[in-house]
Amino acid sequence: MSAPEPTSRVVLAQPLTARAFAPYGDLLAPGEAGREINFGTTQRFDDVARLDVEEQGGRACVALFRTDAQTHRAPYPLRAFERHRLGSQSFIPLGASRCLAVLAGSGDTPDEAAIVAFMIEPGQGVTLRRGVWHHPLITVGAADVLVIERAAASEDCQVMAMTTRVEVRLG
Ligand SMILES: NC(=O)N[C@@H](O)C(=O)O
Ligand code: NI
């Protein structure tokens, strides 16, 4: 008789708030200082994300990540964590898309005992601080996510495979 599959530890996705996300980065949020433009038809909020992309000659890159429902459905077994030591990375789900920020601290290696998962709802967005360990993008079903990150001549992405079995669930 084959041995039973080892069980995975479960991390539940939690609602995204500025306070809960503060150890990892910021939410995109219009400040108080909106100003009227375009003949008073529009309010403009500048710098709703604090980008950190110019280290060592880096520049901002705006990318579109498109996912499919087959590979992005709960429960999500985690595979690896990665970090970008020289720049921030922002994730803004487009339209009705929803995505997850799955994080494991900012130490020398991912802290798999302290994994947290935040649900990024339509209308929300996050900017991960440089060096924060995060799982490669996970979305809720098929999704389009705008990603703003540092681009440079050499890739800045350190990946470390999981050493324990952990899966994220949506509740
Ligand atoms: N690899 C890549 O382009 N994306 C990752 O950095 C990610 O955080 O999804
Ligand atoms: Ni990344």
Can you say whether the dihedral through the CA atoms of 124, 128, 133, 136 is positive or negative? positive
Q: What's domain 9-170's architecture?
A: Sandwich (2.60)
How close is the Cα of 136 to the center of ligand 1, in Å? 5
Q: Of 1-15, 19-33, 150-164, which gets the smallest average pLDDT?
A: 1-15
Domain ranges of the chain: 9-170
> Nearest ligand, CA of residue 101?
1
Nearest atom (ligand 1) to Cα of 63: 3
More confident residue, 76 or 30: 76
* Backbone φ and ψ of 121, nearest 5°: -85, 165
Q: Whose CA is nearest to atom 7 of ligand 1?
A: 136
The DSSP call for residue 129 is P
How close is the Cα of 159 to the center of ligand 2, in Å? 9
Q: Whose CA is nearest to atom 5 of ligand 1?
A: 136
Answer yes or no: are the C-beta atoms of 134 and 101 closer than 8 Å. yes
How close is the Cα of 24 to the center of ligand 1, in Å? 16
Give ligand 1 pocket residues (Cβ under 6 A).
82, 89, 134, 136-137, 157
| Per-residue pLDDT tens over the stretch 78-126 | 999 999 999 999 999 999 999 999 999 999 999 999 999 999 999 999 9
Answer yes or no: are the C-beta atoms of 110 and 133 closer than 8 Å. yes
- Binned at pLDDT 50, 70 and 90, residue 31 comes out as confident
Q: Whose CA is nearest to atom 6 of ligand 1?
A: 136
Numbers of helices and strands, H then E, in the chain: 1, 16
- The complex's ipTM works out to 0.95
Ion ligand 2: residues, CB < 5 A:
89
What pTM value is reported for the model? 0.94
| Per-residue pLDDT tens over the stretch 41-83 | 999 999 999 999 999 999 999 999 999 999 999 999 999 999 9
E runs forming strands in 13-142: 14-15, 25-27, 35-37, 42-44, 59-67, 76-77, 80-83, 89-93, 99-103, 116-120, 126-128, 138-139
